[in-house]
Amino acid sequence: MQAKFPSESLTILTDMVLPGETNPLNNLFGGELLARMDRAASIAARRHSRRITVTASVNHVAFNRAIPLGSVVTVEAKVSRSFKSSMEIYIDVWVEDRESGTRAKANEAIYTFVAVDDTGRPVEVPAITPQTNEEKERYDAALRRKQLSLVLAGKMKPEEATELKALFI
């Protein structure tokens, strides 16, 4: 399988925050943002693998900034690294200022998707070649995050998490 670039999976979803999608403070409800991020990440994983993809884990979500009712929100998702059947998807969330139109980073998240066949069994995905500095940084750190996610899920013994151990030793 030929390696792909992260830019080939780039997925951009722009939408407004409507009544019914907010919490009692009139800011975007966290679960609604998670759903938008999951949808964008799923499309990015599909673009990279050209397979059915399922969410395996949500590894990191930071709700750094509230997003008020009426805001224009852009969710950008891109595969940051692929392994055998799994892919790390990095998601950046931007909010557009109504008057100036400038974008401010509101949140970010990291999801893991797995490509599967028609029966739900994991299948191999193409390798990925990062190009920009940001893509290279995200690629380099992805193995550490994968090991952390597997350890927390009870699927890897801490002593096998070589990349994580290297951080502390």
Ligand X SMILES: CC(C)(COP(=O)(O)OP(=O)(O)OC[C@H]1O[C@@H](n2cnc3c(N)ncnc32)[C@H](O)[C@@H]1OP(=O)(O)O)[C@@H](O)C(=O)NCCC(=O)NCCS
- Within 117-146, which residues bind ligand X (CB under 6 A)? 120, 122, 146
Sole binder of ligand X in the list 65, 84, 98, 103 (CB under 6 A): 84
Sole binder of ligand X in the list 116, 123, 143, 151 (CB under 6 A): 116
Nearer CB in complex with ligand X: 69/116:
116
Taking Cα atoms as reference points, which of 20, 25, 18, 112 lies closest to residue 63? Answer: 25
d(CA 161, CA 89): 20
CB of residue 120 vs ligand X: minimum separation in angstroms? 5
Sole binder of ligand X in the list 33, 56, 77, 79 (CB under 6 A): 56
Nearer CB in complex with ligand X: 94/111:
111
- Within 35-54, which residues bind ligand X (CB under 6 A)? 54
Q: Does 11 bind ligand X (CB under 6 A)?
A: no
